Chains A and B, each alone.
Chain A
Amino acid sequence: MSRQLSRRAWLATTGAAFAGMIGFPLVKRLTARRETVFLAKNQRYDGDLTSTIRAGLLATGFQPKELRDKRVLLKPNLVEPLRKSPQLTTNPAIVLAAAEVFRGWGATVLVGEAPGHVRDTEMALIESGMQTALAATKVPFADLNYEEVGWVKNGGGLSPLDGFFFPRTVLEADLIVSLPKLKTHHWVGMTAAMKNLYGVIPGIKYGWPKNVLHHAGIPQTVLDINSSLPKTITIVDAILCMEGDGPIMGSAKPLGMVAVGTNVAAVDATLARVMGLNPHRISYLSLADGRIGPLSESLIEQRGESWETLHSPFQILDQPHLQELRAQPGEWVT
């Protein structure tokens, strides 16, 4: 029998391939879940952030009644606080405002962090201004670097790690709220909601820095950690941001913005656009696309301000691996 393809078979084969090339992204887009991101402008640390955060959460479909008597863990970014660099860490005003909102909805709230570059957590709290703020409002703090740990299977499966050791406070949380500072990052481009959750990983098991994660791949482990945690939402401190040589040595960039969302990938993608970066070129966001949430503009509903009105390109280092993340004028980034 001839092994030549019949015309009908050829048409069927090439048609399927064509559909695969063109149709799959379309099908993916049609079936993907839409997410909502809320952006607020003209925000100040001495302003009414509680109202902004409450409005943002409600606008993105958050259900307050589900929080009654639940444990909410607020996770700011205190990676390596320096008193003279307020652009480095989440401002305490954001943390306190979030605590007030969740307490008002009947939740038990605590703040937790495992600073990634410093072993002295008390020093991190003092330098960031967090210690004074938390003491004044009696919000408890959990030192995630030194807590008892439990093991959780890797829910993402992109890195070679079978699972993660999470601190007890993380395992017991009903909701984790990522409270990052919006910054550039000199290795992966940007850090916001997803990358901030590296900071739930305990130093006592992973080191300072958490070098085990670097060896397993930064983009892959960002995705895996986000996929292995309890329910996670985000409130982003983008009032005073960091640009240039982030996430530690960069310069202050005032933006006056707060971003809120129940999907961390959608929020990060939106913030990348605000920063002038193409979210599809940020390695960990690219991996998150369709796994954690959508990156495409067409799948992200904007509430509050649109990202275009807040668009303000961040300076990034003149390094090829960073410059290629820039969204080009007229580029189709959705």
Chain B
Amino acid sequence: MSWQAHTLDLLLADFPWGYHRGQSAATEPLALGALALLGDGRLAEAMRACDLLAKIQAPDGSLGVTITEATPNWPTGWAVVAWAAADRAQPSDRVHAERLMSALRWIDSEPGQPMHAVPELGHDTTLTGWPWVAGTNAWIEPTALALLAYEAAGQAQRPRAQEAARILYERQMPHGGCNYGNTVVLGQELVPHVQPTGLVMLALARAADPHGNIERALKFLHASLGPDSAAASLCYGLFALTAHGQRPDAADRWLENAAGRTLAGDRSPYKLALLLLAAQGADSALLQVLQPPQTESPL
């Protein structure tokens, strides 16, 4: 039995998925799990996860972080991606279309708190973007999740999607890659990390690269990934490199190593879903749903 088949069995046995085994169901692991199942052709099981996401959705379209915590709502973009992928798998039904558009309308209306220009910070703090928590500043990862949602829903031309792409491109470090969202503070360039860089490069998979920011970020990912990479960072890094057509030859071996460590360790459903998705490569439902649709649907 391959590690993927074994991992899939364990993941299915642990439904509904939280970040760690035995925890309450959480939006992000549910969406990632649904995407992993779609890529494996497990449509019925994927729909079960998508339906649970629908139960988490609030009347305003947002989804809380877990089934018990109605706020904050930063994982809402993941639900959009999962629902969009599910509807592409069953285009005749499009059962998630209404809830998807409701979530996207919430994303469209959710602003980060812009700051006045701050000379100590090297990035443009006046751009709006998306926050982790309502009423706070914009950061890299929630902004990338918003852009992924627009891309998956075929709404990448909307003004706020363009704004998200601008922010993500602008917040790359001068030497490549990004962290949580600061670039230079008090004159000092900060240190990039793999997971946020991978997520952002996935979201910018179709973006232009006039200043070489994407090229430098991908170079950083290539230099950072290896057989000992932590599971989540490895998967996000591979999402990005695969989306840009630069998947490393050793990717499958690194994933098997990481899966072995995860299965022998905490067996986090969140990490197992990520590993399965990354192993599906360019054929995964995550990467497929980010391909441009035939037509844009109205918001």
Contact yes or no, A215 B135, CB < 8 A: yes
Q: Is B186 an interface residue (CB 8 A)?
A: yes
Knowing A118-B180, A122-B230, A122-B231, the reply to whether A248 touches B190 (Cβ < 8 A) is yes
Contact yes or no, A212 B133, CB < 8 A: yes
Interchain CA distance A124-B195 in the complex, whole Å: 12
- Size category of the binding interface on chain B: 35 or more
- A244 and chain B: residue at smallest CB distance: B188
Q: Is B254 an interface residue (CB 8 A)?
A: no
Contact yes or no, A207 B190, CB < 8 A: no
Q: Is B242 an interface residue (CB 8 A)?
A: no
Q: Is B76 an interface residue (CB 8 A)?
A: no
Q: Is B131 an interface residue (CB 8 A)?
A: yes
- A186 and chain B: residue at smallest CB distance: B186
Q: Is B228 an interface residue (CB 8 A)?
A: yes
Knowing A208-B132, A248-B190, the reply to whether A126 touches B232 (Cβ < 8 A) is no
- The proximity string for A residues 103-144 relative to B, scoring 1 for CB distances below 8 Å and 0 otherwise, is 000000000000001111011011000000000000000010
- Size category of the binding interface on chain A: 20 to 34
- A204 and chain B: residue at smallest CB distance: B65
Q: Is B24 an interface residue (CB 8 A)?
A: yes
Knowing A146-B19, A148-B24, A209-B180, the reply to whether A120 touches B132 (Cβ < 8 A) is no
Residues of B within 8 A of A147 (CB): 20, 23
Contact yes or no, A211 B186, CB < 8 A: no
Contact yes or no, A119 B141, CB < 8 A: yes
Residues of B within 8 A of A148 (CB): 23-24, 66, 68
Interchain CA distance A211-B69 in the complex, whole Å: 18
Q: Please classify the interface of chain A as helix (H, G, I), strand (E, B), loop, or mixed, using the class held by over half of its residues.
A: loop
Residues of A within 8 A of B62 (CB): none
Residues of A within 8 A of B136 (CB): 207, 211-212, 214-215
Knowing A80-B191, A205-B65, A205-B72, the reply to whether A117 touches B132 (Cβ < 8 A) is no
Interchain CA distance A212-B72 in the complex, whole Å: 11
B130, chain A: closest CB distance, angstroms: 11
Q: Is A82 an interface residue (CB 8 A)?
A: yes
- A206 and chain B: residue at smallest CB distance: B133
Contact yes or no, A207 B233, CB < 8 A: no
Q: Is B7 an interface residue (CB 8 A)?
A: no
Residues of A within 8 A of B196 (CB): 119
- B228 and chain A: residue at smallest CB distance: A126
Contact yes or no, B131 A207, CB < 8 A: yes
Knowing A148-B23, A211-B136, the reply to whether A249 touches B190 (Cβ < 8 A) is yes
Q: Is B193 an interface residue (CB 8 A)?
A: yes
Q: Is B139 an interface residue (CB 8 A)?
A: yes
Contact yes or no, B74 A123, CB < 8 A: no
Partner of B133, one of A211, A248, A319: A211
Knowing A211-B131, A317-B186, the reply to whether A126 touches B141 (Cβ < 8 A) is no
| CB proximity to A under 8 Å, residues B176-226 | 179-180, 185-186, 188, 190-191, 193-196
| CB proximity to A under 8 Å, residues B127-147 | 131-133, 135-137, 139, 141-142
Residues of A within 8 A of B20 (CB): 143, 146-147
- B232 and chain A: residue at smallest CB distance: A120
Interchain CA distance A232-B179 in the complex, whole Å: 31
Q: Is A149 an interface residue (CB 8 A)?
A: yes
Q: Is A245 an interface residue (CB 8 A)?
A: yes
Residues of B within 8 A of A249 (CB): 185, 188, 190-191
Residues of A within 8 A of B185 (CB): 186, 249
Knowing A186-B186, A245-B188, the reply to whether A119 touches B135 (Cβ < 8 A) is no
B18, chain A: closest CB distance, angstroms: 8
Interchain CA distance A215-B229 in the complex, whole Å: 34
Residues of A within 8 A of B137 (CB): 211
Interchain CA distance A153-B71 in the complex, whole Å: 18
Interchain CA distance A212-B230 in the complex, whole Å: 28
Contact yes or no, B230 A123, CB < 8 A: yes
Interchain CA distance A122-B190 in the complex, whole Å: 21
Residues of A within 8 A of B133 (CB): 205-207, 211-212
A189, chain B: closest CB distance, angstroms: 14
Interchain CA distance A82-B194 in the complex, whole Å: 12
Interchain CA distance A319-B69 in the complex, whole Å: 41
In the complex, 17 of the A-B residue pairs with CB atoms within 8 angstroms, ordered by the A residue number, are: A80-B191, A118-B195, A123-B193, A125-B230, A146-B19, A146-B20, A147-B20, A148-B66, A186-B186, A203-B132, A205-B69, A206-B133, A211-B132, A212-B136, A215-B136, A245-B186, A248-B190
Contacts A118-B180, A148-B68 known; 13 new A-B pairs at CB < 8 A: A82-B191, A117-B180, A118-B193, A118-B195, A123-B229, A143-B20, A146-B20, A147-B20, A207-B74, A207-B142, A208-B132, A211-B133, A248-B191
Chain A residues near B (Cβ < 8 Å): 80, 82, 117-120, 122-123, 125-126, 143, 146-149, 186, 203-209, 211-212, 214-215, 245, 248-249, 317, 319
